[in-house]
Copies of this chain bind each other. A is one copy, B any other.
């Protein structure tokens, strides 16, 4: 039976200054970034969110963000997914998604970067991206994907929030 998937996109939290690490992939969350990301994670748990699977960019700041989501019990499972790294292609994710079997919640989370995540979201919603969505660090987006067929250009946006409006 075809089921609807709810897709959550989470941008990594505040990380060290760009250029502060020889390899940008290693740049970790700052202390403040970890703290706010943890607050966001707790808030998502309070809202009863639960993901069958969390896919994360392999970069340290994203990986750490995804681990914080796991720590508070939001995900059943965590996997690295290389197309979530900067400049990753949504086509690779769409291919992966076409054979993904959702679990009990039907909810999938992607942890990554900007402008990648909002570009992917726009592509899912409108079929193309115009840079018209702003996703803050540790911000969250929610999309409802169609039951059948490609989600590209056929998804619906129901949630987009910066941390400050989520945490108050």
Contact surface of A with B, Cβ cutoff 8 Å: 43, 46-47, 125-126, 130, 132-134, 136, 144, 153, 155-162, 164-166, 168
Contact = CB atoms under 8 A, between A and B. Distances in A.
Contacts of A133: 125, 156-158
Nearest 5 interchain pairs by C-beta: A134-B158, A160-B160, A125-B132, A133-B157, A134-B156
B155 A159 contact: no
A160 B162 contact: no
Contacts of A153: 130
A133 B132 CA distance: 13
A133 B136 CA distance: 19
Contacts of A43: 168
A164 B126 contact: no
Contact of A157 (B132, B158, B165, B168): B132
How many subunits of this chain does the assembly comprise?
Answer: 2
Nearest to A133: B157
A166 B158 CA distance: 12
Nearest to A166: B165
A159 B158 contact: no
B126 A130 contact: yes
B157 A159 contact: no
A47 B143 CA distance: 24
Contacts of A166: 165
A165 to B, nearest CB: 6
A159 B156 contact: no
Nearest to A118: B157
B160 A158 contact: yes
A40 to B, nearest CB: 12
